[in-house]
Amino acid sequence: MKTKILIGVIVLAITLVTIDIYFTNHIFSSKDKAKNIEYTLAIVKPDAVQSKKTGKIIDRIENENFEIIKIKKLRLTPKQAESFYSVHKNKPFFKNLVNYMTSGSIVVMVLQKENAIEEWRKLMGSTNPEEAEENSLRNLFGTDIEKNAVHGSDSPQTSKKEIYFFFPSFIK
């Protein structure tokens, strides 16, 4: 009896994984590419999560017609933060960036929209909240150049790499 239950659970798990892989692999269809539908990674950073701005940021994302394809809340380890931001490892702010990104929970999302990368970067605003465009997320929720509320991919190549970092089954 226990063996039959175990086999049933294994079959169900394999079925669910197969379904997830099928839908994930078909998200990047040629129909989407023809419309220039893109995917980008968005992160609500620790300062915005700690100050309870996540809901307002997500509301704004949806009001700007982005579709949230995947979402999860987590806390980065120092090793994960160093790996994710490895492109900045030789810059003077790297250690502070790693410390900041591991200081609390973050919310990571895969966003979908036509021209998603460019549109998300516009919605985020300039890196420095003091210089960010009016009503951009960084203007509204960022406190300084380091604690600027949100992160976003800057190119299609970076987007794929960053999405894979947090959602490895999303992109093959």
Residues marked active site are found at 151
DSSP 8-state code for residue 133: P
Q: Pick from 119, 142, 137: which is nearest to 67 by CA?
A: 119
What CA–CA distance (Å, rounded) separates 122 from 18? 36
What CA–CA distance (Å, rounded) separates 44 from 151? 7
Q: Which residues pair with 107 in a beta bridge?
A: 44, 73
In 10 A of CB 170, how many CB atoms? 20
